[in-house]
Chain A
Amino acid sequence: MKQLTCLFVMLCLCGCETVQPWERGTLAKPEMQWQSDPMESSLQAQINASKEASSGGQGAAGGGCGCN
């Protein structure tokens, strides 16, 4: 976790260029979103959470289910 924090800080200190608002067209493409298909993501997250011991990390935890 410490290494990740360091990596992130490093990315921000030296990896960032100023990207002007009119240069952000590519970043608005669907494939550049954190969730490019919300229904697919939610189904995958639900299946994984019910078959593995860990969950979360993508926003707040939602409601539960009795899936087993």
Chain B
Amino acid sequence: MAARPAEKHPALLALTSSALLLPAYQGVQADAPPQYTELGMRYSKYEEDDTRGSKTFGGSSQRYDIDAAQFHLLAPVADSWSVAVDVQWEDMSGASPWFVGQSLDGGPKVVMSGASIEDTRTEVSVTTRYFYDRGNAGVNYVRSDEDDYDSNALALDGAFNSADGLTTYSGAVSYSSDNIEPTQGSVPTNTRKADKDTSSAWVGVSRIISKNAIVRFGLSYTYRDGFLTDPYKLHDKRPGERNEWTASTGYRQYFSWPDGALQADYRYFDDDWGVASHTLNLSWHQNLGESTQLIPFLRYYTQGEADFFANVADLDTRYYADDYRLSAFGAISAGLRLRHEIGNWAITAVGERYESDESWGLYNGDESPALLNYWRYSFGLDYIFK
């Protein structure tokens, strides 16, 4: 039998609020660093479907494969600090769409980059976080290195809880400086050396709405400036600036029967290139006994095309691009994540299928012949030192 809410009787309210000033009841609310050191590893395989023969001009229709390994370490330091180190290696190979042309039968077809691209990327991210009674604040540095690209980013973020602990205000700012030096393949590239900067700010507020539900709302703004053109695409010339806005909301609801939680997240995106998008993520987190969780997830994404997108680019205009990523389409992905704990170990397995199609979108536009479908699998092992 659970105790009833404490609002009922003034005597009960007085006793409860005076009791809760005692130290034994303080720990519940305060932000605290993780109690134990956690180590995690993931291996993921990402495989794009071949582009269908009817949509390519001869040549190879094979697309990208990526093998990715992730390493994660999170450790408490002293009483009120934590340090996290994340390292990710990726090995990419395959071909990507080079340009789209008009075929004799009338439909646009894609020409893939001839030579196979081989690239590796290493990303190292270090975060230190300070926890205080009413929130936490973190500093994050990320460096990413590829043969033809490097990026350095710094981010600051903080969270602050209201006195009753029901509302959390969060904010973050970041700055990233990226350098591009195309080296790949035999295709001519759009630049020899260029750079771009990204500045971004985010504010969010989350609110506990019941013992079993929490909601969040966030707004972000990102400003990109520099060489935003894709260096490897034949028909690609984009503006040197981009302003992006997002509004997002998230919801988590726990159900004691059947001991599971619904996670729902929605994001609206808008920018000054004419792209707008809606993203809806739904997942159901089902506990099966004490040590197993089964998490099916579903994502719907739809975007409108950029103002300067055309399947067959008009090279006489100021800006142009035939990149399928700037076209109008809808995408659905569905997957299943399984996590099983064995003592201090946990194994994770994920399978996900992503498919995109112009007709699934909410926005009208020319269907790009280069739209993408892929499979992704991840396997992981986590260990907690306790």
Tell me, yes or no, whether A and B come into direct contact in the complex with CB atoms closer than 8 A: yes
Closest partner residue, chain B, to A16 (CB atom)? B209
* Chain B hits for A24, CB < 8 A: 28-29, 165, 208, 211
* Chain A hits for B288, CB < 8 A: none
Among A11, A56, A57, which residue has its beta carbon within 8 angstroms of that of B207?
A: A11
Are B249 and A4 in contact, with the CB atoms below 8 A? yes
* Chain A hits for B200, CB < 8 A: 56, 60-61
Among B25, B72, B174, which residue has its beta carbon within 8 angstroms of that of A62?
A: B174
* Chain B hits for A54, CB < 8 A: 244, 246, 267, 269, 271, 275, 277, 279, 303
Are B248 and A39 in contact, with the CB atoms below 8 A? no
Among A4, A27, A56, which residue has its beta carbon within 8 angstroms of that of B211?
A: A27
B-side interface size class: 35 or more
- The answer to whether B146 has its CB under 8 Å from any CB of chain A is yes
- The answer to whether B225 has its CB under 8 Å from any CB of chain A is no
Number of chain A residues whose Cβ lies closer than 8 Å to a Cβ of chain B: 51
Among B46, B149, B217, B374, which residue has its beta carbon within 8 angstroms of that of A65?
A: B149
Contacts A16-B166, A43-B68, A59-B202 given; does A31 touch B293 at CB 8 Å:
yes
* Chain A min CB distance to B15 (Å): 13
Contacts A39-B72, A65-B144, A68-B232 given; does A26 touch B212 at CB 8 Å:
yes
Are B249 and A8 in contact, with the CB atoms below 8 A? yes
- The answer to whether B164 has its CB under 8 Å from any CB of chain A is yes
Are A52 and B325 in contact, with the CB atoms below 8 A? yes
Are B166 and A19 in contact, with the CB atoms below 8 A? yes
A45–B20 Cα distance when bound, in Å, is: 41
* Chain B hits for A65, CB < 8 A: 121, 123, 144, 146, 149, 151
Interface string of B125-164 (1 = CB under 8 A from A): 1000000000000001011101011011101110000001
* Chain A min CB distance to B125 (Å): 8
Closest partner residue, chain A, to B214 (CB atom)? A27
A65–B230 Cα distance when bound, in Å, is: 12
Are B279 and A31 in contact, with the CB atoms below 8 A? no
A3–B17 Cα distance when bound, in Å, is: 37
Name A's interface SS. Answer: loop
Are A31 and B220 in contact, with the CB atoms below 8 A? no
A67–B252 Cα distance when bound, in Å, is: 32
Contacts A39-B42, A66-B180 given; does A61 touch B209 at CB 8 Å:
no
* Chain A hits for B25, CB < 8 A: 21-22
A11–B209 Cα distance when bound, in Å, is: 8
A1–B105 Cα distance when bound, in Å, is: 43
Closest partner residue, chain B, to A33 (CB atom)? B252
* Chain A hits for B292, CB < 8 A: none
Contacts A21-B20, A57-B267, A57-B269 given; does A64 touch B303 at CB 8 Å:
no
* Chain B hits for A55, CB < 8 A: 244, 269
A52–B371 Cα distance when bound, in Å, is: 10
Binding site for A on B (CB under 8 A): 5-7, 16, 20, 25, 28-29, 40, 42, 44, 46, 68, 70, 72, 86, 88, 92, 96, 119, 121, 123, 125, 140, 142-144, 146, 148-149, 151-153, 155-157, 164-166, 170, 172-174, 176, 178, 180, 196, 198, 200-202, 204, 206-212, 214-218, 220, 222, 230, 232, 244, 246-250, 252, 254, 260-261, 263, 267-269, 271, 273, 275, 277, 279, 285, 287, 293, 295, 301, 303, 306, 325-326, 331, 337, 339, 348, 350, 354, 372, 374, 376, 378, 380
11 of the cross-chain contacts (CB-CB < 8 Å) are A16-B210, A31-B285, A40-B350, A43-B70, A53-B275, A54-B244, A57-B218, A59-B172, A60-B202, A63-B153, A64-B153
